[in-house]
Amino acid sequence: MTAPATLHERILDWYDDHARDLPWREPSASAWSVMVSEFMLQQTPVARVLPVHEAWLERWPTPAALAAEPSGEAVRAWGRLGYPRRALRLHAAAQAIVERHGGEVPSAYDALRALPGVGDYTAAAIAAFAFRARHVVLDTNVRRVFARVLGGTELPTPSVTKAERELGASVLPEDPETAATWSVAVMELGALVCTAAKPGCARCPVGDRCAWQAAGRPAYDGPVRRPQAWAGTDRQCRGRLLAVLRESTGPVHRSALDAVWPDPVQRERALAGLLEDRLAVQVGPDTFTLPG
């Protein structure tokens, strides 16, 4: 394996020259800004997150500001980012931060991990990026870079493995500040150069040290990865129904929901799912609204 020091120098130098200017990376960015970005960036491109993140921080600059509002307002402000349960989880996390931590985003991994909606990756990312702590941060982009450069495979396994964590720890710089920058630099390399499709190997700062490149770029031969369908799915139906609720300032009659999706069986199933997930509430025999 290539010496970690070589990887550090090349990737960190590349990051200095190519890092995108993102608000949650600014030196003045609050821990809350970083936390909001991590929730929003899950399965959502940066370009779609930027305007929503800006509007969110303008309206709710602190966890306490969000916690004081009904959870339905978080869902409304989430807009079309997708996976709206993230909005409910972020709202619940804000309430927990107020109740447990005096309104300040905690810096310790264990305290972050105990917040609603915060898993291993999110806790490590907030600790590293907001507080410059030394943690292994393994998102999809980082895992892909490590799989190729260090493991010689095109793509990582569907789920994070113990071996991946150990590999990530083995190349993590010892200095916490450098480790935090390293984590975001590898993430950026995966987002901009070492992409899932059509990787820019000629532009990669460690292309000549990449095990996958040296092996002739063998095709992925692991478990089949099926792209998620959208058109005609229950997810699309839920999105249409939720959009009607978001855009209304009061209760919505069932007829308005009927108008946006023709299949009554699928529509009722999707509506039942929204109610079960507490993304919607029934306030009358045939009227619905966002949670209060």
Q: Give the catalytic positions in this structure.
A: 38
* CA dist 247 → 63, 250, 251, 262 (Å): 24, 9, 11, 20
266 is written with which tokens? Answer: 């699928």
E-assigned strand segments in the chain: 252-253, 281-284, 287-289
Interaxial angle between packed helices 31-40 and 46-59, expressed in degrees from 0 to 180 and rounded to the nearest 10: 140
> How far, in Å, CA of 65 to CA of 104, rounded?
12
Please give the full DSSP string across 21-59, using - where no structure is assigned: --GGGSTT--HHHHHHHHHHTTTS-HHHHHHHHHHHHHH
Q: Which of 241, 271, 243, 273 has the alpha carbon at shortest distance from 257?
A: 241
Contact predicate 261/270, CB 8 Å: yes
Q: Which of 84, 14, 28 has the alpha carbon at shortest distance from 61?
A: 28
- What burial class does residue 82 get, using C-beta atoms within 10 Å of its C-beta: 0-12 exposed, 13-18 middle, 19+ buried? middle
For residue 177, the surrounding DSSP H or E stretch is helix 176-192
